[in-house]
Structure 1
Amino acid sequence: MRRFPCVAFAAALSLLAMAPALAETSAPLRVVGFSGSSNWPIYVALEKGFFKRNGVEVDLAATPDSVSQLTKLIDGKIEIAMTAIDNVIAYQEGQGEVPTAQPDLVAFLGVNNGGRFNLIVAPEVKSYADLKGTQLAVDALTTGYAFLLRQMLEEQGGLKPSEYKLFSAGNSGQRADALQSKKVAGTLLNSPYDSIAERMGYRRLAGASEIVGHYQGSVGATRRDWAEANQEKLVAYIRGYVAGVDWLYDPANKEEAMAILMKRLPRTKPENAEFAYDELLSPTKGSLLPRAKLDIEGVRAVLKLRSNFGLPKKTLTDPMRYYDPKYYDMAVR
């Protein structure tokens, strides 16, 4: 009888020792992405409970720009960044917009084809020639889709870098605001911001898909050490995300899907949601990657572009340096 208090005391100590681990396990994953329809699978997974069904809580926040997003990921202030794979490559190779501690970043799923961006310009701009001597908005000068824009200006417009100026404005919403306030003459926009701008009288001059075929756009990315230590959480996140993609690709869910997008992005009107749905989920030209499967050939296209424009100069050829498929494979098997 006298031993029971000791046993109870030992059990209590054991529970106290376990408490931090339990709390850490139940803490929501801090996920940061750019505002826009590329987050649609996450919006759906949150609304439909797909993450919770797989045993993980997700706290989604929007980033003002890639610098804030990537530095937070590298510094351990967030667990997951939904970002362009070019950003992952840039910081991994010491070519990022700002200096950081040596990162060890890795992509674990694919989001979309980067060719979905459109070059939206001021109403008075009728051709590439009209962009000569103007300022154009990008997220960051040396990462993201700045190199894609430079390639478009060079290949399609015959413009040299000295004939225009790039301005770091942040995410698509901020770039759209810069265009509307006449700070810039044009910018690459994704859905629904491109269609919103067009309906306001701005012009679509060109689409990135016209110069790139396979081009891996956004991915889910994290730190390798965090992924190794939190494998179950990461696999659960991937399962919830893939469930969101699958649900979106079911035509029966179209009306509810558009309602979710408009709820999460209040600037989105029904016609913008319709445009975004067609752009991302069309059976023939949709840019949202089915089952969130990363496009390896698309990563090679990103590496080729970064090899051309990135500084310090490097020749980059190995997609698997930036992507580990094991977590995705575990999630979908």
Structure 2
Amino acid sequence: MKFIVSIAATAALVAGSISPSFAQSNPAPAFHPNPTQTLRVIGFAGGFNLPIWAGQRQGYFTDEKLSIQLTYTPNSVYQITNLLAGNFDIAMTAIDNVVAYQEGQNEAPIGPDPDLFAFMGSDNAFLSLVSQGQYKTIEDLRGKTLTVDAMTTGFAFVLREILAKNNIAENEVTFEKAGGVGSRFTAMLQNPEHAGTMQMTPFELQGEARGLSTLVRAEPALGAPYMGMVGATRRSWAIENESAVEGFIRAYKRSVDFIYEPDNRPIVEALLVANTQMSPDIAKRAYGVLLDKDSGFYRDLRLDLAGIQTVLALRSKYGEPKKHLTDPAPYIDTSFRDKALK
């Protein structure tokens, strides 16, 4: 630091000693900082990344002077702990993960005072209960092994609630941790002892093509709206990078509008094929689920309060240590979205 100051002071003295005409004819080279900010985004692999892929293709993030570096996480623990550690800037994650780590009901130890929050909503998670092909009803899962990401995550709570609504006690099944949605999909294909799991579109469709069964979709099974994936980050980072957060939101919104435009369907299906292992036929089916006018991606990027209430109710019921959670406010901040989309 002292060396830099010395050079700066010397440069100032030299600049003051030269004539104005010389200074004008030999200006110092202009410094042009790179206007593009790289955002390190971490999410789960799958078709639910469609708005990001579309935004990258269409240049919407570039328009906001952003470059998206998208990393796929092996599981929720890796995702959130690395977000908190500052190794990533934004997580496309379940709102339940935000609640869990803020309330100390998380799977992995973290430092004190986490400052996670959700700044926009994406979807209802497109969740389905998937089973091996020989199991045709939820009742058939009684006595079987079911896989989860982690026992303390929201999708595991959805599975436990669906079982409870079908009168299957938790001691009548075995839960086994098998990682994120992609890992659980692979585990189902490789190990027939894994009888069922919660999956996100398009994995349930890919599973059907490989002989697996889709037993039920989550929202109808729960009988209530469910808030799934959100854009989340640390409050401290968001305050320092407000323009980047708002730019991300604007680009994401343009991407959602793009993928919903019927004329763009061939491009959208091609993006699904190019970024996943799905076939063109499955891409057509996935398009129908992801862009359903009633249950597809949230066109307004809302943080759905009714859906968050369901998340909090399940976490109050199944989370440890026990807490009674009813207020979404501590886990969300709509001001970034409101300002970005104003």
SS at match of 2:66: coil
Q: Does 1:63 align with 2:73?
A: yes
Q: Deviations over 1:244-265 (max 9, x none)?
A: 1111111111111110111111
Unaligned segments of structure 2, at least 5 residues: 1-13
Q: Deviations over 1:225-278 (max 9, x none)?
A: 00001101111111111111111111111111110111111x111121111111
Q: Does 1:89 align with 2:102?
A: no
SS at match of 1:236: helix
Give the counterpart letter for 2:16 in structure 1: R
Q: Does 1:233 align with 2:251?
A: no
Q: Does 1:78 align with 2:101?
A: no
Aligned twin of 1:304 = 313
In structure 1, C-alpha distance between the alignment counterparts of 2:82 and 2:68, rounded to whole Å: 17
In structure 1, C-alpha distance between the alignment counterparts of 2:216 and 2:238, rounded to whole Å: 38
In structure 2, C-alpha distance between the alignment counterparts of 1:77 and 1:291, rounded to whole Å: 29
Q: Deviations over 1:32-67 (max 9, x none)?
A: 011111111001001111000111111111111000
Q: Larger radius of gyration, structure 1 or 2?
A: 2
Where do residues 146-165 of structure 1 align in structure 2 (5 Å cutoff)?
A: 146-156=156-166, 158-165=167-174
Question: Structure 1 stretch 69-78 or stretch 126-135: which is displaced more?
Answer: 126-135
Match of 1:106 among 112, 117, 121: 117
Q: Does 1:223 align with 2:258?
A: no
Aligned twin of 1:38 = 48
- When residues 147 and 26 of structure 1 are mapped into structure 2, their CA distance, relative to the original with a 3 A threshold, is same
Q: Does 1:184 align with 2:194?
A: yes
Residue 128 (structure 1) shift? 2.5
Q: Does 1:251 align with 2:262?
A: yes
Match of 2:208 among 198, 205, 221: 198
Aligned twin of 2:9 = none
Q: Deviations over 1:291-326 (max 9, x none)?
A: 322211111110011011100000011111100001
Aligned twin of 2:16 = 3
SS at match of 2:91: strand
The question of whether the paired residues in 2 share the 8 Å contact of 1:299 and 1:319 is answered with: yes
Q: Does 1:323 align with 2:336?
A: no
Q: Does 1:292 align with 2:305?
A: no
In structure 2, C-alpha distance between the alignment counterparts of 1:2 and 1:304, rounded to whole Å: 67
Give the counterpart letter for 2:237 in structure 1: W
Q: Deviations over 1:173-199 (max 9, x none)?
A: 111111111241011111111001111
SS at match of 2:314: helix
Aligned twin of 1:280 = 290
The question of whether the paired residues in 1 share the 8 Å contact of 2:37 and 2:65 is answered with: no
The question of whether the paired residues in 1 share the 8 Å contact of 2:154 and 2:315 is answered with: no
The question of whether the paired residues in 2 share the 8 Å contact of 1:111 and 1:217 is answered with: yes
Give the paired residue count.
321
Q: Deviations over 1:137-169 (max 9, x none)?
A: 11111113000000001102x111111111111
In structure 2, C-alpha distance between the alignment counterparts of 1:129 and 1:279, rounded to whole Å: 26
SS at match of 2:300: helix
Instruction: Calculate the aligned-residue CA RMSD, in Å.
Output: 2.1
Q: Deviations over 1:13-44 (max 9, x none)?
A: 996xxx9xx56x74410000111111110010
Aligned twin of 1:49 = 59
In structure 1, C-alpha distance between the alignment counterparts of 2:110 and 2:19, rounded to whole Å: 51
In structure 1, C-alpha distance between the alignment counterparts of 2:324 and 2:219, rounded to whole Å: 24
The question of whether the paired residues in 2 share the 8 Å contact of 1:66 and 1:144 is answered with: no
The question of whether the paired residues in 1 share the 8 Å contact of 2:208 and 2:214 is answered with: yes
- When residues 155 and 5 of structure 1 are mapped into structure 2, their CA distance, relative to the original with a 3 A threshold, is farther
The question of whether the paired residues in 2 share the 8 Å contact of 1:278 and 1:286 is answered with: no
The question of whether the paired residues in 2 share the 8 Å contact of 1:281 and 1:288 is answered with: yes
The question of whether the paired residues in 2 share the 8 Å contact of 1:138 and 1:187 is answered with: yes
The question of whether the paired residues in 2 share the 8 Å contact of 1:88 and 1:105 is answered with: yes
TM-score by length of 2: 0.89
SS at match of 1:187: strand
- When residues 4 and 280 of structure 1 are mapped into structure 2, their CA distance, relative to the original with a 3 A threshold, is farther
- When residues 201 and 2 of structure 1 are mapped into structure 2, their CA distance, relative to the original with a 3 A threshold, is closer
In structure 2, C-alpha distance between the alignment counterparts of 1:165 and 1:195, rounded to whole Å: 25
- When residues 6 and 80 of structure 1 are mapped into structure 2, their CA distance, relative to the original with a 3 A threshold, is farther
